[in-house]
Amino acid sequence: GQNIDQPTEMTATEGAIVQINCTYQTSGFNGLFWYQQHAGEAPTFLSYNVLDGLEEKGRFSSFLSRSKGYSYLLLKELQMKDSASYLCAVPFISGGSYIPTFGRGTSLIVHP
Amino acid sequence: NAGVTQTPKFQVLKTGQSMTLQCAQDMNHEYMSWYRQDPGMGLRLIHYSVGAGITDQGEVPNGYNVSRSTTEDFPLRLLSAAPSQTSVYFCASSSESGAEGYTFGSGTRLTVV
């Protein structure tokens, strides 16, 4: 089974950098997803890490350490529109396919 | 390209009523899933499908049925609605590789009174 843990809430200042951590325990690792979800909207895909290391996409970066069961999402140059919930998800395998299991999400509040 | 389309967006049911939440995708995705989202609980998997004719139970399947007669459609049926099923429901789909992540529908906000 999967066990995913991330902080419930974080606050940060506009223009700053914030790191959202995710730890996981899984019976078989098949990558890790990060999603962003604004209030009242559907989640949207941010990143997928399957190998160790840092992957950068503009202001957002995602890091993975498979040996430590640990990932983080790094948001730089924070903007007010980055206020949202950030969901960490780890797929489990069913019949050869990968079905994401989600953590409870981290609510990020960006203030001026 | 519409992506994942869910209907209805809002629904109020009385306890004991049944209904079907519709989900359709036009991306030729093999994988489709239904999640419910409750405050403080994150997204919990109800049922999923890895292709037409194949479905399986997720974490919270009780009270729900699904079928996958075509690649495009994956309806979720509530058999006898209960107040505990008040939630926001999301349908999502993914290609077989999964590397692009799941594409979510806009959600259905269901209230059972």
* Cα angle for residues B67, B80, B88 (degrees, 5° grid): 70
Whole-number pLDDT of residue A60? 97
Whole-number pLDDT of residue A102? 92
Whole-number pLDDT of residue A101? 87
The whole-angstrom distance between residue A102's C-alpha and the CA centroid of its chain comes to: 10
Q: Do B59 and A101 touch (CB under 8 A)?
A: yes
A59/B86 Cα distance (integer angstroms): 36
A2: pLDDT confidence band, cut at 50, 70 and 90? low
Q: Do A91 and B35 touch (CB under 8 A)?
A: no
List per-residue pLDDT tens for chain B, 113 residues long: 679 999 999 999 999 999 999 999 999 999 999 999 998 788 999 999 999 999 999 989 999 999 999 999 999 999 999 999 999 999 999 887 667 788 999 999 999 99
Mean pLDDT of chain A: 92
B3 touching A, CB under 8 A? no
A61: pLDDT confidence band, cut at 50, 70 and 90? very high
DSSP state of B73: B
A45/A50 Cα distance (integer angstroms): 15
Assess contact for B101 and B3: CB atoms under 8 A: no
Q: Which tokens in the block code for residue B104?
A: 């979510």
Assess contact for A92 and A2: CB atoms under 8 A: yes
Is residue A95 over pLDDT 70? no
Greatest distance between any 2 Cα atoms in chain A: 48
CB count within 10 Å of CB B33 equals 25
DSSP 3-state assignment of A96?
coil
The whole-angstrom distance between residue B13's C-alpha and the CA centroid of its chain comes to: 17
If interface means Cβ-Cβ distance under 8 Å, which residues of chain A face chain B?
A: 31, 33, 35, 41-45, 48, 50, 87, 89, 91, 94-105
Whole-number pLDDT of residue B10? 97
Mean pLDDT, range A71-83, rounded to an integer: 98
Whole-number pLDDT of residue B2? 77
Whole-number pLDDT of residue B95? 83
Is residue A11 over pLDDT 70? yes
DSSP string, B7-56: E-SEEEE-TT--EEEEEEESS--SEEEEEEEETTTEEEEEEEEEETTEEE
Q: Which residues make Cβ contacts (< 8 Å) with residue A57, sequence separation at least 6?
A: A46, A47
Whole-number pLDDT of residue B15? 98
